[in-house]
Amino acid sequence: MKDFRNLEVWRRAHELTLASYRFTKNFPRDEIYGLTSQIRRCSASIAANIAEGCGRYGDPELHRFLQIALGSASELDYHLLLSSDLGYLPRDEYAPLNSQVLELKRMLVSLAKKVATDRNASA
C-alpha cells in the first residue's frame, strides 16, 4: 500500500479538482446537473482513482486504477474544450487548465508505464 499524498501526480490532480470547483461556480445555473456536474465528477475521479489504486494490494491494481484515472482525465479534457466552445470558460482561463490536464495525462502515462515495468521486472 502506497500513500497517495506522496505522489506528485495526485497532488496535481487534487489541485485541478479544486480549480474545477472554482471555475464551474460561474457556469450558467441550468448547467448545474449537466456540464458543471460532469466536470466536477470527472476531475475528482482522477485524484480518487489514484488514491484508490494506492490503497489496493499490489501493482496490478494500481496500474488498473491509473488507467481509469487517465480515462477521467481525457473526459475532463473534452469537457473543458466544450465549456470553452460554449463560452462558459473564457479562452484565457481554458488555456492554462488545458495545459494542466495535458501535463497530468503525461504524468499518469509515465507512472502507469513505471508500475508496469516494475511489475514485469519482479515477475
- For the chain, domain boundaries: 4-122
What pTM, to 2 d.p., does this model score?
Answer: 0.92
Rounded CA gap, 108 and 65, in Å? Answer: 10
**Does residue 2 come out as left (phi exceeding 0), alpha (psi in the -120 to 50 range) or beta?**
beta
Model confidence pLDDT, tens digit, residues 91-107: 999 999 999 999 999 99
Element (H, E) at 52: helix 35-55
- Mean pLDDT, residues 26-31: 95
Cβ atoms 49, 65 nearer than 8 A: yes
State the architecture of 4-122 in CATH terms.
Answer: Up-down Bundle (1.20)
The C-alpha angle 78, 112, 77, rounded to 5 degrees, equals 10
Model confidence pLDDT, tens digit, residues 51-78: 999 998 888 999 999 999 999 999 999 9
Rounded CA gap, 38 and 27, in Å? Answer: 12
